[in-house]
């Protein structure tokens, strides 16, 4: 029998056997044939898409090919809010939106968007993977969502068609598209910019028509969506660390067997490290690519970034008072721990 297995077939048979043995006492009844529709906003060449693909590969291997992930990139299933509603309603299985989009249903997710809170990827990972990030995840099931962890989106940076932004005064009067999030809106107002909330899918057209002067996103998002075609300046403001969150419809989750749920968790955990690595490498490469495409790049001096932090502090202080005191205390203590 062994001789009958060709070199091409043998690895797949071995992988399937290992996956089923790795599931413990899994039997055929524990893992069912399922197709998981995984939607997100990013293009197929973006690190979020790479994370979805890796998650799908891992899940298929662990389930012996029974749990299949079907990716729908580039807002094919709607914008963030539409996909969130679809998950809550059970008509879509998974998505990977920015954590910002969840502030409307669990207000404390807004804490992740506090400007200038962390200054490195290591600090961001420690904050989100630790007790604070997990406490936020624990609040989602009652909202119809189950989260499998955080992925990297990156530090957000400003682009615009008017001028380089090297100091707080350079924000003055810029009409900047922001995510519909109160912390973002008030922070940019504090910089005397004119923040304009709008869905991501409408952003390129708004930049092209000059309805807005600029926008803020991680470098890889700026490159993947070809904003270099309609923006001249990119400034490394690094004002907010942004994360994506891997979400599952609770209605779908509750249909899964314990074994299937375990495999989903394992695949998500393994995909997380890969996605973060790919995302951070892509961000570094994107800076050079954006310059090669004609964008004018500038960094922000530490002293000017400190001034920006000071200007934004009254905003974060004001919002801090509106959050669950227990969650805010946890956030503060964890932030102090990871940034010391």
Which domain CATH number covers 119? Answer: 3.40.190.170
How many CB atoms are closer than 10 A to CB 76?
A: 12
In a domain, 73, yes or no: yes
H or E stretch including 245?
strand 233-249
In a domain, 23, yes or no: no
In a domain, 66, yes or no: yes
**CA-to-CA distance for 323 and 198, rounded, in angstroms?**
24
In a domain, 5, yes or no: no
**CA-to-CA distance for 221 and 138, rounded, in angstroms?**
29
Name 1's bridge partners: none
The answer to whether 83 touches 39, Cβ cutoff 8 Å, is yes
In a domain, 12, yes or no: no
The answer to whether 159 touches 215, Cβ cutoff 8 Å, is yes
Walk along the chain (340 residues) and give the pLDDT tens digit of each residue: 434 434 433 444 344 444 444 444 456 679 999 999 999 999 999 999 999 999 999 999 999 999 999 999 999 999 999 999 999 999 999 999 999 889 889 999 999 999 999 999 999 999 999 999 999 999 999 999 999 999 999 999 999 999 999 999 999 999 999 987 788 899 999 999 999 999 888 999 999 999 999 999 999 999 989 999 999 999 999 999 999 999 999 999 999 999 999 999 999 999 999 999 999 999 999 999 999 999 999 999 999 999 999 999 999 999 999 999 999 999 999 999 999 9
**CA-to-CA distance for 267 and 278, rounded, in angstroms?**
16
In a domain, 11, yes or no: no
Give me the domain span that covers residue 275: 32-339
How many CB atoms are closer than 10 A to CB 268?
A: 21
The answer to whether 215 touches 227, Cβ cutoff 8 Å, is yes
In a domain, 20, yes or no: no
In a domain, 48, yes or no: yes
Our count of domains for the chain comes to: 1
The pairing of beta strand 145-160 with beta strand 214-217: antiparallel
DSSP for 61-78, written as a single string: HHTTT-EEEEEE-TTTT-
**CA-to-CA distance for 9 and 12, rounded, in angstroms?**
6
H or E stretch including 39?
strand 34-39
DSSP for 110-159, written as a single string: GGGG-TTS--SHHHHHHHHHSHHHHHHHTTSGGGTEEEEEEEEEEEEEEE
Q: What 3-state class would DSSP assign to 309?
A: helix
How high is the pLDDT of residue 28?
Answer: 61
Model-level pTM? 0.86
């Amino acid at each position: 029998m062994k001789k009958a297995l060709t070199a091409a077939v043998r690895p797949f048979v071995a992988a399937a056997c290992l996956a089923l043995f790795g599931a413990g006492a899994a039997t055929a009844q524990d893992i069912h044939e399922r197709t998981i529709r995984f939607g997100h906003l990013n293009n197929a060449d973006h690190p979020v898409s790479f994370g979805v693909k890796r998650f799908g590969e891992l899940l298929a291997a662990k389930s012996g090919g029974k749990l299949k992930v079907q990716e729908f990139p580039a807002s094919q299933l709607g914008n963030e809010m539409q996909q969130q509603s679809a998950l809550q309603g059970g008509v879509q299985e998974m998505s990977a939106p920015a954590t910002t989009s969840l502030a409307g249903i669990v207000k404390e997710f807004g804490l992740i968007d506090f400007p200038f809170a962390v200054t490195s990827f290591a600090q961001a990972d420690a904050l989100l993977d630790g007790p604070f990030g997990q406490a936020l995840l624990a609040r989602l099931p009652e909202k119809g969502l189950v989260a499998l962890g955080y992925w990297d989106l990156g530090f957000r940076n400003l682009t615009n068609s008017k001028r380089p932004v090297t100091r707080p005064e350079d924000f003055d009067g810029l009409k900047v598209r922001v995510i519909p999030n109160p912390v973002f809106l008030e922070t940019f107002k504090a910089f005397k910019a004119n923040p304009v909330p709008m869905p991501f899918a409408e952003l390129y057209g708004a930049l092209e028509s000059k309805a807005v002067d600029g926008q803020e996103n991680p470098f890889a998002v700026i490159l993947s969506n070809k904003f270099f075609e309609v923006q001249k300046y990119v400034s490394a403001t690094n004002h907010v660390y942004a994360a994506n969150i891997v979400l599952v419809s609770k209605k779908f989750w509750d249909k899964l067997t314990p074994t299937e749920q375990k495999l989903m968790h394992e695949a998500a955990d393994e995909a997380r490290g890969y996605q973060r690595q790919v995302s951070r490498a892509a961000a570094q490469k994107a800076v050079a690519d954006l310059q090669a495409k004609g964008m004018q790049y500038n960094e922000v001096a530490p002293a000017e970034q400190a001034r920006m932090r000071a200007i934004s502090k009254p905003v974060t202080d004001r919002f801090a008072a509106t959050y669950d005191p227990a969650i805010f205390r946890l956030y503060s203590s964890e932030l102090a721990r990871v940034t010391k």
